[in-house]
A and B are shown apart, each in its own frame.
Chain A
Amino acid sequence: MKAMMKKIIILFAVSLLIISCERKTETLGPDLSDIYGPFTVFEEFDVSKNTVDFSTGESINFSARFSKTVDWEVKIIGQTSGATKILTGKTKVLDETTARWKGSTTELPMFKTEKCNAYIIIEDEGYADTILNITINGTKVNDGFNVADFENGINPDWKIFKQSGANMSFFTVQSDTAAQADHYYDMGGEVTFDYLIGYIYFPADAYVDSATNLPYERFPLSSNPGDVFFNVLLNVPEGINNEIVLFQLTEDDNEDGIFQESSEDMYSIELKHGGDAGLQAGWQTISVRYSDLTALVNGAPATPNGNGIKEPHKLMEVRTLFLADPSSGYSQTFMDYMIFTENGPLEP
């Protein structure tokens, strides 16, 4: 009995030793007063500077300070373009870490050199404030290989074809509503005898390597298909719902300078109207990682005809074909800012 008592005493001594261990007594999670307490504005909504040049890498920060954590939304709207950038957060403080704007756009078109207004909205607290006339002196520069932004008209080495249909467009348009800068490409028409309405091809040799002053044989892209992104901005006008936009990317697998459709790879992106992944009315950004491209035959996935390896550094030509069901009437889509980016999709 004595031995047992001794053991029990040891057991409880160990227990007491553990009980005496120090533990942090800070409360867990965010303070309830930060979430449910009364709302007061300690520092008004403000911006770090009223003039910014995003092309030189500048950015602006919005600031504000509240008594509690709130769901806030800062909306910046271009006075000319209508471009919209939305910053959101759930914090007590807006500062350079939570509310920094580097010139990108949430809702196309992209910002131009223009004046903007910034609005903060805290819906749960019924609070709003505005900053007027933030001036953009230079727009954000996107790294990548610019295939076509249509700002300098049509490159004579691009290959353009349009059917003999009705109301055919296939030309550049100057407009404040261009997704990027001031011009976009209008593809439209009604063709009753064929799906194809027209196309515009962008061969690599339409571009000049500034280092050698010679045309590129293939697009100067990374050889890693996981790093390369194909991006383009498209706009389907209201009332149009029959458009089919087909992008074809042809590879020169054997590097002989010629694309042989029967023996080399061609990867495609086919975009139709509607659905979760389809085209919608208005400007939208299409970004596809090169490694996610598939070969298509009549819209269905198929085995590529070449070596089956996605090799962006062997890309010879980007083709844009605009199609519609011949029985569906007039169709139209605008295209702007086709660009290859690396290590991430375009952030317009």
Chain B
Amino acid sequence: MKLNKNTILIAFILIANLSWAQNKKIWVSGAARAVMYGDEYSTEAENDTTTPRKLQSGHALVDLGVNIQPSDQILIQGMVRIRNDYGGFWGSGVTFDVRQLYIKGILGGFLKYQLGDINYKLTDYTFKNNVGLINKYGGVLTGVPQDQVQYDLFYTKDNTWRQQGGAVDFALQFDKVVEEMEFNIFTTRVRPTNFDTQDDRLYSGGSLIFVQSQKFKFGGQFANLYDFAGTSNNTVYLKNPVYTGVAEFNQKVNKVHLMAALETGISKLEWQGSEVAPVLEDYFYDVNVKAAWAKTGISVSAGYRDVGPNFRSAGAQTMQLNFQSAPAAYQRYGNNQNIRAIGMMDVYRDASLYQTQIVAGLMSFDPRYDNATPYGRATPNRKGFNVLFDYEDTDARWNVGLDAELLTDVVGQGTTTLKNYNTGSVFGELRLNKIFNWENRKFWISGRYGMQDTKRSGEQSYEQVDLATRFQDYNFTATIFGDLELIAQYRLWQSKGDEQVAERNEYSEIIDYAEYSIDYKESIVGAGLQYGFTEKTNLSFLYQTFAWEDSKELTLPYNINTWTLFFNMKF
């Protein structure tokens, strides 16, 4: 949405004055950012003489949110983003967008509501913004731009999806049987009608949780992605309802915190009115137990799940990364001007690669970045065990852990032989400042080594697949003096082997297999200085080298050295 910039500026000056005048009933909040990237491309490939060797890009932006609180029960926020891309001058390249608008409040002292932009989630199998493996483990260097990408996309740490619509939450308390009943209801629009062939597509749902006591709660969730019939001339209506039930026990026994949880449910994906579309129905269950010893800092959890091959849940299976998109920087390269494959450098700094809205069916994915659970825990056609172990020193001097998932297909793809998917990583962090009692200083080192193997044997050679991914990540943070920190990181990601990737039709049914063969590695190594003016304001200067190697020579090898200047402020 483009607005006249003078109008916006005048409006904000007036509002700022009002905020002084009206005793903080109106106030401004938001964020500001300035970023500059300097990329230097190099390659050993002889057939690349045309790719620009140096590129510079960046932007400055400010998010100005006006908060209006006409009464204690109502809050209205409208936020605009003013952005000027690097190189813009006298208004050229400047954009004004409405970033968010919402009204929220409490009705009758018990009913919470929010209209407009809302962040929402339910459970792993109904509605959750799943973080992919490539983004799962943050790094001190890659995390700097990654945080901003996630801020831009409204990806939150509690895995909500940003939606537009309305939500109502309330609870009823009782004296007997159950302590409380919690109601959460939402409805949002994920796609507008075009008044011709495409209906409004809505996403609605909610949950009802019975809290029997602090130890036990149970309930159900419902989420449905559906076309709102009658909003266009379309005669085929998508419907994807998901119903799940949950139960959770918590109990403390001899200073051990025990937890057991179950989620189970069914889904249906259909295109009502279509004679050719299938009806996909299936179920899942997921059982987890956890024990945590507070005194020692050890916690162990283990679980088993079975997610049917036709389980479809749009709100839980939509991936963050859209692998159909292409990176913004060096989008085409080489003398043949091929589209450059998405690499880690792009994943951590390019917001245009990400999905902002949930979609029906199953998106395509890249096996090198997660072949086992591309759609998160709700990935269909998977069953098996998961284990998580964490040991945190009680004085917070160190932390070690491991996670593992041993999964298989539920049913075979094109053969009765099942694929095995083994994923795992070990992690360790050493906080030397705690060991040596260096108060007010940071001195951390951490590392993670991870792997993922996909294997399928078989009597015929064409049944066999073997794809191995390995990743490593090492981080270092040290306070030089005051609030100035030195950060450094090395991250390596490599995949080798062969896989048959399912190709799906518009109804997410497998119709063919694409032969996927890879032997590549990519790495980021770099260091930087970070200065914290305040808790919410910091300046970073980073330098990194991104390297891409392809032993199969299907893509050109290259390096991109990047310096980054990053100023970030929240207010």
Physical interaction between A and B: yes
- List chain A residues, Cβ under 8 A from B287: 11-12, 15
Our pick among B283, B414, B509 for the contact of A32 (Cβ within 8 Å) is B414
Our pick among A14, A18, A26, A36 for the contact of B460 (Cβ within 8 Å) is A36
Asked if A27 is at the interface of the complex by the 8 Å CB criterion, the answer is: yes
- List chain B residues, Cβ under 8 A from A32: 414-415, 460, 462-463, 500, 513
Given contacts A19-B285, A23-B282, contact A28 B462 (CB under 8 A): no
- List chain B residues, Cβ under 8 A from A12: 287
Asked if B357 is at the interface of the complex by the 8 Å CB criterion, the answer is: no
CB distance from A10 to the nearest CB of B (A): 8
- List chain A residues, Cβ under 8 A from B285: 15, 18-19
Asked if A30 is at the interface of the complex by the 8 Å CB criterion, the answer is: yes
Asked if A33 is at the interface of the complex by the 8 Å CB criterion, the answer is: yes
Our pick among A25, A29, A37 for the contact of B513 (Cβ within 8 Å) is A29
Asked if A1 is at the interface of the complex by the 8 Å CB criterion, the answer is: yes
Q: Which residue of A lies closest to B249 (CB)?
A: A7
Per the 8 Å Cβ criterion, residues 24-54 of A in contact with B are: 24-33, 35-37
Contact with A along B383-411 (1 / 0, CB 8 A): 00000000000000000000000000011
- List chain B residues, Cβ under 8 A from A8: 249, 260
Query: B411–A26 contact, CB under 8 A?
Result: yes
Query: B460–A30 contact, CB under 8 A?
Result: no
CB distance from A16 to the nearest CB of B (A): 10
Q: Contact residue range for chain B?
A: 20 to 34
- List chain B residues, Cβ under 8 A from A19: 285, 306
Given contacts A28-B309, A31-B414, contact A11 B513 (CB under 8 A): no
Asked if A4 is at the interface of the complex by the 8 Å CB criterion, the answer is: yes
Q: Which residue of B lies closest to A90 (CB)?
A: B512
Contact with A along B404-448 (1 / 0, CB 8 A): 000000111111100000000000000000000000000000000
Query: A35–B414 contact, CB under 8 A?
Result: yes
Query: B462–A11 contact, CB under 8 A?
Result: no
Q: Which secondary structure characterizes the binding site on chain B? A: strand
Query: A18–B247 contact, CB under 8 A?
Result: no
Query: A27–B413 contact, CB under 8 A?
Result: yes
Query: B283–A18 contact, CB under 8 A?
Result: yes
Asked if A214 is at the interface of the complex by the 8 Å CB criterion, the answer is: no
Q: How far is the CA of A25 from the CA of B414 in the complex (A)?
A: 12
Q: How far is the CA of A18 from the CA of B411 in the complex (A)?
A: 17
CB distance from B296 to the nearest CB of A (A): 22
- List chain A residues, Cβ under 8 A from B283: 18, 21, 23
CB distance from B242 to the nearest CB of A (A): 15
Q: How far is the CA of A48 from the CA of B236 in the complex (A)?
A: 37
- List chain A residues, Cβ under 8 A from B293: none
Per the 8 Å Cβ criterion, residues 490-522 of B in contact with A are: 500, 502, 509-513
Query: B460–A37 contact, CB under 8 A?
Result: yes
Q: Which residue of B lies closest to A24 (CB)?
A: B411
Query: A28–B411 contact, CB under 8 A?
Result: yes
Query: B512–A4 contact, CB under 8 A?
Result: no
Q: How far is the CA of A150 from the CA of B21 in the complex (A)?
A: 84
- List chain B residues, Cβ under 8 A from A27: 411-416
- List chain A residues, Cβ under 8 A from B260: 8, 11
CB distance from B536 to the nearest CB of A (A): 44
- List chain A residues, Cβ under 8 A from B306: 19
- List chain A residues, Cβ under 8 A from B381: 28
Q: How far is the CA of A37 from the CA of B458 in the complex (A)?
A: 13
Q: How far is the CA of A137 from the CA of B285 in the complex (A)?
A: 64
Q: How far is the CA of A19 from the CA of B262 in the complex (A)?
A: 12
Asked if B253 is at the interface of the complex by the 8 Å CB criterion, the answer is: yes
- List chain A residues, Cβ under 8 A from B17: none
- List chain B residues, Cβ under 8 A from A7: 216, 249
Q: Contact residue range for chain A?
A: 20 to 34
Q: Which of B283, B285, B416 has the most CB of A within 10 A?
A: B285
Query: A11–B262 contact, CB under 8 A?
Result: yes
Asked if B555 is at the interface of the complex by the 8 Å CB criterion, the answer is: no
Query: B308–A29 contact, CB under 8 A?
Result: no
Asked if B215 is at the interface of the complex by the 8 Å CB criterion, the answer is: yes
- List chain A residues, Cβ under 8 A from B500: 32
Asked if B49 is at the interface of the complex by the 8 Å CB criterion, the answer is: no
Query: B513–A4 contact, CB under 8 A?
Result: no
- List chain B residues, Cβ under 8 A from A31: 414-415
Q: How far is the CA of A37 from the CA of B502 in the complex (A)?
A: 18
Contact with A along B249-263 (1 / 0, CB 8 A): 101010000001010
Our pick among B215, B247, B414 for the contact of A4 (Cβ within 8 Å) is B215
Q: How far is the CA of A23 from the CA of B266 in the complex (A)?
A: 12
- List chain B residues, Cβ under 8 A from A18: 264, 283, 285
Query: B462–A4 contact, CB under 8 A?
Result: no
Query: A30–B510 contact, CB under 8 A?
Result: yes
Query: B247–A14 contact, CB under 8 A?
Result: yes
Query: A29–B512 contact, CB under 8 A?
Result: yes
Q: How far is the CA of A7 from the CA of B415 in the complex (A)?
A: 41
Given contacts A1-B253, A23-B308, contact A30 B282 (CB under 8 A): no
CB distance from A240 to the nearest CB of B (A): 31
Q: How far is the CA of A15 from the CA of B285 in the complex (A)?
A: 7
Query: B264–A29 contact, CB under 8 A?
Result: no
Q: How far is the CA of A127 from the CA of B502 in the complex (A)?
A: 27
Q: Which residue of A lies closest to B381 (CB)?
A: A28
Q: How far is the CA of A167 from the CA of B161 in the complex (A)?
A: 70
Q: How far is the CA of A290 from the CA of B309 in the complex (A)?
A: 46
- List chain A residues, Cβ under 8 A from B411: 23-28
Q: How far is the CA of A341 from the CA of B511 in the complex (A)?
A: 35
Q: How far is the CA of A321 from the CA of B278 in the complex (A)?
A: 51
Q: How far is the CA of A163 from the CA of B216 in the complex (A)?
A: 94
- List chain B residues, Cβ under 8 A from A37: 460, 462
Query: B262–A29 contact, CB under 8 A?
Result: no
Query: B463–A14 contact, CB under 8 A?
Result: no
Q: How far is the CA of A24 from the CA of B412 in the complex (A)?
A: 12
CB distance from B567 to the nearest CB of A (A): 45
Q: A4-B251, A26-B411 are in contact. List 8 more A-B contacts (CB 8 A).
A: A12-B287, A15-B287, A24-B411, A28-B502, A29-B513, A33-B460, A36-B460, A37-B460
13 interchain pairs (CB within 8 A)? Answer: A11-B262, A14-B264, A15-B262, A18-B264, A26-B411, A27-B411, A27-B415, A28-B412, A29-B510, A30-B511, A35-B513, A36-B460, A37-B462
Residues of chain A whose beta carbon lies under 8 Å from any beta carbon of chain B: 1, 4, 7-8, 11-12, 14-15, 18-19, 21, 23-33, 35-37, 90
Residues of chain B whose beta carbon lies under 8 Å from any beta carbon of chain A: 215-216, 247, 249, 251, 253, 260, 262, 264, 282-283, 285, 287, 306, 308-309, 381, 410-416, 460, 462-463, 500, 502, 509-513
Give the 7 A-B CB pairs with smallest separation, nearest first: A29-B510, A36-B462, A32-B414, A18-B285, A27-B412, A28-B413, A4-B251
